[in-house]
Amino acid sequence: MKNVFTLKNTDILEKLFSKECDGISEVVIAPKELARLGSIELKEVNALASKLKQHGKRVFLQWDILMTEGSFDLAVGQLKEIDWNYIDAIRVQDAGAYHYALENLETEIHLILEQGNHNLTGIHYWIEYAQKYQSKKLKRLVLSMEIPYERFTQFIKEIHAKKIEVEIMALGQILLFYSPRSLVKPLFEDITSDELNNDEISVIGNSEESPHKGFPITENIHGTFMFNTKDHCIVEYFEKLKLIELDAWRFDLSNDQAHTLITDIALATTEEAFQGIKEAYPEKVIQGFFKTNKSDVLFKKLKNKRISRKEVGFLGEVVDVKKKEHIGIHLKNPKVSFKNGQSLTFFTPEGKEKTTTVVQAWQANQKNISEASMGQVIFIPHLGGISTKTMVYDSSLL
């Protein structure tokens, strides 16, 4: 199983060229102009690729940006500056880039299918698309980390039958969201367009709709990227992946992480050694869907019959809860109104039932009220065990 290392900048070269790093046999060059998260200048690619080849590395060029017609034409022009004698493969993700590579380039092609293609029908389509051109240039598929191990085993067998290699990410950030728009820069008035063209902006994002926080967000010339709070890591399954004959796994490390771990990665040949790399990794990690994909477990909650509205006695829905302070209720029934002293019954999404008599109610402006009707939001004293989405009923009508 080959170790693939994504080179995002040149600071790590001294270590990468050392004898200890011979175990990293393949290097992905990520130019700033063509790669989503690259920072290597395009004009440096030829000299860098030449040096990597001299040190016995296979060299791949990353071209994975989102492109409009204009930016696609610009990228095609930039590809003409590449000396393909030093490039072993081009890695593409955009369908247009894939089509262009099949029609116009002689080099080996690696197709990146990480953002989808969770079924063999879709994967076979991309293979057959290359065959339409009578092309044998498609040599590797980079598959999604969201494919569970058991299914991944089947995928590898079928892809290998087509004489194509398979690669997945072993360690690195999980991209949750990518937009070509500038979403961070407008928040910083002192950052100019020229500065953004040369540098990345990195911030931490929090959710206003959930308790989740700490999302790393990066903006560069290609747009805005939001990552999971935990990185992806399956290095502890080294033996399992060797057993199913995975061809290559990739390490997408930041500069600081690479300086710390690149030698250990290159020298590791056992599961115990890779377990040590996981423990030394400076960020929190998860294994994603490697064991099993449970992304459908939320569907049961979405279909929760307990939060289905019953017309008889229905008053409204809990929309806000602040512990030890208040419960906010949005009144939604034109036929049932609220009056102070009323007995209310709450049915929670978890199936709990609670009843209380309201002795005080107020509006958002803190003004006490004695009655309210449909469309209004009222606040009553906090009651333990009540969450948002709880259905509220007039107890006397049940």
Per-residue pLDDT at 135? 78
Per the model's pLDDT, the better-predicted residue between 296 and 321 turns out to be 321
Strands of 326-331's sheet, edge to edge? 353-357, 343-347, 391-394, 314-322, 326-331, 377-381
Question: Cβ neighbours of residue 308 under 8 Å, at least 6 residues apart?
Answer: none
d(CA 215, CA 225): 10
Tokens 């509006």 correspond to 363
Per-residue pLDDT at 201? 87
The CATH code that applies to domain 306-397 is 2.40.30.10
pLDDT tens digits, residue range 49-97? Answer: 999 999 999 999 999 999 999 999 999 999 999 999 999 999 999 999 9
The closest alpha carbon to 167, from 210, 218, 108, belongs to 108
* DSSP codes joined into one string, 287-324: -TTSS---TTTHHHHHT-GGGS--STTEEEEEEEEETT
Per-residue pLDDT at 194? 57
pLDDT tens digits, residue range 213-229? Answer: 899 999 999 999 999 99
Report whether pLDDT(292) > 80: no
Number of other residues whose CB lies within 10 A of the CB of residue 186: 10
Q: Domain map of the chain by residue range?
A: 2-174+230-286, 178-227, 306-397
d(CA 294, CA 198): 41
The values of phi and psi at residue 212, to 5°, are -70, 140
Confidence of residue 288 (pLDDT cuts 50, 70, 90): confident
CATH 3.20.20.70 fits 2-174+230-286, yes or no: yes
pLDDT tens digits, residue range 381-398? Answer: 999 999 998 999 999 998
